[in-house]
Structure 1
Amino acid sequence: MTTTKDESPTSVFSKDCLSRQVLLDVTGRWGTLVLSALYERPCRFNVLRRRIEGISEKMLSQTLYTLRRDGLVLRHVEATIPPKVTYSLSPLGNAVAERAVELVALLETEVAKFEHAWATFEE
């Protein structure tokens, strides 16, 4: 837990702390996948949609909006017809995505252990 200059606590465990909402945004169903995809490279909307199997256009749009609001994703619009929109990570988003990618890599390397745990769970 840290404190700000006015000595109010900042803790993800506090129901009123902004960091808790951002944590939920990042670790929700799609946030980590969007951040991980953008960590690889900036992408246009349809490239992201194809990269993240199973995400609907609506959910991708909402997730990008939320991550933009949180200051993690940037939206660059080129004034062409039609407009060309590219999404990328902000410096803060890059720092968060770096950790998300580490988590994703760990989970991918431990799939066999998860399969074993699932198979033996109710024995």
Structure 2
Amino acid sequence: HIPVNKKIIFKMRSQDVLHSAYMPHFRAQMNCVPGMITEFSFTPTKTTAEMRMNSDIAAKVERINKIRYDNNQKLLAKGEEGLDPYQFDYLLLCAKICGTSHYNMQMKIVVDTEKDYNKWISSQSAFSSIMQ
């Protein structure tokens, strides 16, 4: 979770091989190099909820879900599990082919209003309590 309209500074490093942190909706990408800290920043200007209401994004989501629905019919006919409906999320992806789990290196980013962000952050455990 990150707050809208606040400058966010990302400091990243890799513990194994070269990675590339890519956030396509923010047009941001930075290599993550073993043994070196890299840094970049940006200011998100739209919450996740606002992006989901954007007519262009809503049209893309509708097209994706039409394809998923058609594919679900085929999967269900074969007795396989169907796909959940897609909804827009900001994402952090790895843009380097970095190993066998590369395809799974992704994380959802939620851009909240300041009020929602403060509510979320107050519900989180302190890092020091997790490390005990």
TM-score using structure 1 length: 0.26
Which has the higher relative contact order, 1 or 2, with Cα contacts under 8 A spaced 6 or more apart? Answer: 2
Q: Which has the higher helix share?
A: 1
Q: Given the two structures, how large is their TM-score scaled by the length of structure 2?
A: 0.25
